Each structure stands twice: as C-alpha cells, then as structure tokens.
Structure 1
C-alpha cells in the first residue's frame, strides 16, 4: 500500500511540474494558449476525478506563485473543478473514453467553460454587471484557449494516454 501511495505522489509531482512549467513558459506566445486544460482532461479520463482535481489545485497554486497570486486563484481552481466535473459527467453518459472526436470537441468546449467559470467567480465582487464585463472582455481570450485546446489535444492524447495506461498497469 505504501509503495502505491509513493507512486501516486510521484506521478502527481511529475504532472504538476509539467503543467506548471507549460503554464509559465508558454510554447506559443498567444494569451491563454497552453496545454494545461488538455492535460487535466486526459488525467481525469485516465486516473479519475480526485487525481485530476488535485492536479488542478496544485498547478494553479504553484504557477500563480510565479504568475501572480490573488483572489482570482480561487476562481481558477473552481473553474478547473467545473471542467473536471464536466469531463466526468460526459464520460458517464457518453462513450467519451472510446471516441477521440468526442474528446476533441469536449476539450475545445472546456476552453470556453473555464473562462465562463472564472468570470462567474470574479463577479462575486460586482454582481451581474461585473460578470458581463468580465465575460465580454475575456471572450476573445477564451476563444484562444479553446483553439489552443483543439490544437494541443491531438498532440498530447497518445503520449499521455499511453503513459497513464502504463502507470495504471504498474500500481
């Protein structure tokens, strides 16, 4: 049992380091275009909600220490929690795990969903008017996020799925 826990912590540490690095050091210099959402979706599909959510929390806290930590960090964590719940929901009601195209569509949608939830979380400080202002001003950035997810998902799908499959067979 202890050996299995050590493997889980090691995997979580490696994935967190990868997500934090990819979030801080952008591969493509376009705002909101980074593969963290795709990685969280793949991890959630292959390892489960708890692991995906733990990865989201660690990624946002650690990367925001560098990028800027503030009240928005809570909205970001909750937004990723919502995205992870969406992945779990669709995995239960559809054959999501078996169909790459459905995964690709959902990964793209998660770019807009994440932005929507962050905007919703930030509206606590100003109500519906603040939400509408946040949402309107972030729509282009959320679209960049969605397009980035569409581009990165096919690139990340096979290596991450194979690595996580190997991990699951070894524990």
Structure 2
C-alpha cells in the first residue's frame, strides 16, 4: 500500500487499523497468559494507556475486540456485557483524564488511577451483575469481591510500572497522530 495514512471510512487510517489489530493481539495474549492469576491481567493498563495517548475510539476498539476475542476462549455469557460496560467507563474516564493538562506526563496520578481502576471495574461489574442476575443484596455481593478488585488494582499497578515507560514511546515513534 502506497500511503499507510490513507483514511478508511473517514476516521481511521490503514495505520490505525493495523495498530488496533496488533494491540488487540497483544492484549489477547496478555489476558490469556495471565488467566491463571485471578483478576491480574495487563489489559486494563493497556486500555488506559491507549485511551490516554491515542483517544477514546482507539482504546474502545481495542477493548471491544480484546474482550470479545478472549471471551470466545474463556467463556461468553452475560458477564461479557458487564465487562464491556465496565471497561467502557474506565476508557471514558481515562480519556477524560487525558484532557487534564499535564495528567499524561505525571506518573503518580496515573499510578493512582490504574490502581483505583481495579476497584472501579469491580464496582461497575457488580452493578451490572446486580441488574442482570437480579441479586437482592448488592453490598454483600460487592464486598465479597473486594479481594479480587485488590488483585486487579495491584496487577494494574505492576503492569503500569512495566508498560508505561515503553508504550507511549512506541506510540510516538510508530503511531504518530
């Protein structure tokens, strides 16, 4: 292809589509590789980094493709809807935070956010489960999952420490706007 920045359907370039596919593949491998550790996976951190540096649409597309692909292997069910909802909110919040001057350059606020994103994911998923499954007692149900939310947040924190020095530089070098 002569011009890798040729727009497809008006808003994505061929380069965007290629990077979305590559990032989705990396997220699928990352989620699958860490599935033996409950709620510890690199995908939340990746979705946040993509949303911070490349915007809501790209983060959302990678998330949508990752969740649908991995749930084909790990099990598709009503929980897929709660995962999609919870990650969509996290991506939206990440994108919103990227609009705060300096947030994308400061690591401490980002570390706090990725840690809290594990708890936000758990809370939103519990809310979705409450609606879908008709759970009668929300707070006991939610509080039973705090351990897993803590694992999720701690995993996000560690993956952020590993990925945040690399991913933004890769984006700047190979996927400029």
CA distance in 2, matches of 1:113, 1:74: 16
Kindly tell me the number of residue pairs found equivalent between the two proteins.
Answer: 168
2:52 touches 2:97 (CA, 8 Å); kept in 1? no
Task: Give 1:2 shift.
Answer: 4.0
SS in 1 for 2:166: helix
Task: Give 1:168 shift.
Answer: 3.3
Q: Which has the higher contact order (CA 8 A, sep 6+)?
A: 1
RMSD: 1.8
In the alignment, what sits opposite 1:21? Answer: 29
CA distance in 2, matches of 1:126, 1:136: 17
CA distance in 1, matches of 2:169, 2:32: 25
Structure 1 residues 15, 93: CA separation in 2 closer, same or farther (over 3 Å shift)? same
The unaligned stretches of length 5 or more in structure 2 are 1-5
The unaligned stretches of length 5 or more in structure 1 are none
Which among 54, 65, 68 is matched to residue 72 of structure 2?
Answer: 65
Tell me which stretches of 4 or more aligned residues in structure 1 moved more than 3 Å: none
In the alignment, what sits opposite 1:161? Answer: 168
Task: Give 1:158 shift.
Answer: 1.5
> TM-score normalised to the size of structure 2?
0.88
Per-residue CA deviations over 1:106-164 (Å, capped at 9, x if unaligned) read: 111101101111111111121552x3343122110010000111111010012111111
